[in-house]
Amino acid sequence: MTKSWQRFHGFFRRSIFLKLFVVYLLTAVVLLGGLRAFKFWTLDEGNFFQTPWGRILAHQADYLLGEIGSPPDPEKARRIAEEWGVQIRVEGSGASWSTDSRLPSIPSLRIHDSHAQSHFQASRFRFHPVIIANDDAQRVALFFLHRPSRNVDAWMLMLLIGMIAAVLTGSYWGVRWVLRPVGWLNTGAKEIAKGNIDHQVSVRSPDELGRLAESFNDMAQQVREMIHARDRLLVDVSHELRSPLTRMKVAVEFVQAPSTKEKLQQEIRELEIMVAELLESERLASQGGQLHLVATDLVSIVKEVVGTYASQEGAEARLVVSPRSLVLPLDRQRVQIVFRNLLENAMKYSHPEKGPIEIRITAETDFACVAIRDHGPGIPLDEQSRIFEPFYRVDLSRTRETGGYGLGLNLVKKIMEAHGGEAVLSCSSDRGSTFILKFPIR
Ligand code: ADP
């Protein structure tokens, strides 16, 4: 298979417009062929000489035979062929000749009908009628090939090709126009998959595809309501957990056994972080909790957060590349949460003996980039796309050791999106992971 055929085949498989177009092109061809076949089938060839057309041609043949003379004169026959468009073939004991060498021999023609009163027989050559006159000495076949059409010039042919091309192009775009809701649905599904669940597909036609778009919007609405209900439930539960957690913290102080006390305090701390992260996510989404953007030096925030981890045991974090300052409109507290979450994860997983956690701050044309690279076990490929989802945790045995509820990265993502930026896991393997934060430079 050639490359261009493969490309066309690929395009054909992916384009519903082209498929529909081909389907109705084939329909047109089959219909036209069928109509022609039907017309042919209903031809009354067995009674040719009783039909008006047959009678006219028999009359005409009689006249032309008289013009050719007896024995037939080739010169006269040639003139008749030129004037009337009727080609003549003569075969017999004497001379055998024809006005056009491409005419078939008379015995090869199939006889459909014989005239009752004369020696005429009817046949057909490429859909044109043929009348054969039988004499004792010879047979004369008259091929009525003439059609009342003018000579086709090159420009006429061009016009025809242009017209066919215009009709085909017009009908292709017609199919595209009729099926444009398919494109809108496709965009809608992609937007929702990207997380833009408020996206609505515009419905501008009352036909089946328009109704499909309406159903799609209804479905998206249902999903929106389910997500809002889930978020509401989480927030309510988080609120309700705050008072029992405070009471537990007080009660734990009375526990005598130090190891049990330490374990309980750790559990309570984790629950408190989870509740705080859930409530922070909710605050970001609510009207009053929008960002408080102030021109702030991103480099100083990073340095500050890195500094808070300097005295801790375990992996060391180092700012390896950075401009002296990078002032951007930021919500200081929220950006601190972002760095804290990412650095805490990096410190939790990185192997200190393989080197320090590296942080790089660079300024591109449209955005400032902060990359945090650790030397941890990495995140399995099939889980990488899900780690920013709430409550998603990579393999449970690992999480049991490290604690956490899988909310940290989700909060990072939400804060970055609220800033008009993004958080991505740029690469991850068994040699470590690199998370990248992009802040827009407005
Ligand atoms: P948690 O608060 O439970 O740590 P996160 O949302 O921060 O949850 O992380 C989600 C999952 O991604 C966790 O299961 C964690 O194991 C994994 N993860 C996050 N950061 C890293 C990292 N730097 N290296 C390896 N795994 C990571």
- The CATH code of the domain that includes 268 is 1.10.287.130
Please check whether residue 19 lies inside any domain of the structure: no
**Are residue 285 and residue 413 in the same domain, yes or no?**
no
pTM of the model: 0.58
CA of 310 to the centre of ligand 1 (A): 21
- What does DSSP assign to residue 286? S
Report pLDDT for 370. Answer: 96
Please check whether residue 184 lies inside any domain of the structure: no
Euclidean distance between CA atoms 85 and 64, whole angstroms: 12
Q: What is the mean pLDDT of residues 148-172?
A: 86
CA of 272 to the centre of ligand 1 (A): 18
Regarding predicted confidence, which is higher, 130 or 44?
Answer: 130
Q: What is the mean pLDDT of residues 294-306?
A: 94
Per the CB < 8 A criterion, the answer to whether 370 and 359 are in contact is: yes
**Are residue 227 and residue 327 in the same domain, yes or no?**
no
Please check whether residue 251 lies inside any domain of the structure: yes
> Of all atoms in ligand 1, which is nearest to the CA of residue 432?
24
Number of domains observed in the structure of the chain: 3
Report pLDDT for 399. Answer: 61
**Are residue 202 and residue 223 in the same domain, yes or no?**
yes
What percent of the chain stands above pLDDT 70? 96
**Are residue 297 and residue 436 in the same domain, yes or no?**
yes
| Sheet hosting strand 422-429, strand order edge to edge | 317-321, 357-363, 367-373, 432-440, 422-429
Q: What is the mean pLDDT of residues 203-228?
A: 87
**Are residue 255 and residue 299 in the same domain, yes or no?**
no
**Are residue 265 and residue 298 in the same domain, yes or no?**
no
CA nearest ligand 1 atom 9, residue: 406
Mind listing the pLDDT tens digit for each residue in 93-137?
777 899 988 899 999 999 988 888 788 999 988 888 999 998 877
State which residues form the domain around 379.
291-440
Q: What is the mean pLDDT of residues 206-212?
A: 84
Euclidean distance between CA atoms 209 and 204, whole angstroms: 10
Mind listing the pLDDT tens digit for each residue in 318-330?
999 989 999 999 9
Euclidean distance between CA atoms 189 and 181, whole angstroms: 12
Q: Please report where in the chains the tokens 């080197």 appear, as a residue.
A: 355
pLDDT of 373 strictly over 90: yes
Pairing of the two strands 432-440 and 367-373:
antiparallel
pLDDT of 442 strictly over 80: no
Helices 154-178 and 180-193, packing angle to 10 deg:
40
pLDDT of 288 strictly over 70: no
Ligand 1 contacts (CB < 6 A) are: 341, 345-346, 349, 374, 376, 379, 387, 392-394, 398-399, 404-410, 433
Report pLDDT for 308. Answer: 87
Of the candidates 121, 143, 165, which is a domain's last residue?
A: 143
Regarding predicted confidence, which is higher, 6 or 402?
Answer: 6
Q: Looking at 206-210, 348-352, 372-376, which range is the least confident one?
A: 206-210
Per the CB < 8 A criterion, the answer to whether 406 and 396 are in contact is: no
- Distances in Å between the Cα of 228 and the Cα atoms of 198, 237, 273, 282, 386 are 12, 14, 22, 11, 20
**Are residue 214 and residue 285 in the same domain, yes or no?**
yes
> Of all atoms in ligand 1, which is nearest to the CA of residue 377?
25
CA nearest ligand 1 atom 16, residue: 394
Please check whether residue 153 lies inside any domain of the structure: no
Q: Looking at 14-23, 248-257, 331-340, which range is the least confident one?
A: 14-23
Of the candidates 290, 305, 320, which is a domain's last residue?
A: 290
**Are residue 216 and residue 79 in the same domain, yes or no?**
no
CA of 131 to the centre of ligand 1 (A): 93
Q: Please report where in the chains the tokens 């037939």 appear, as a residue.
A: 72
CATH number at residue 386: 3.30.565.10
Please check whether residue 70 lies inside any domain of the structure: yes
CA of 395 to the centre of ligand 1 (A): 10
Report pLDDT for 397. Answer: 59
**Are residue 323 and residue 425 in the same domain, yes or no?**
yes
Please check whether residue 175 lies inside any domain of the structure: no
CA of 394 to the centre of ligand 1 (A): 7
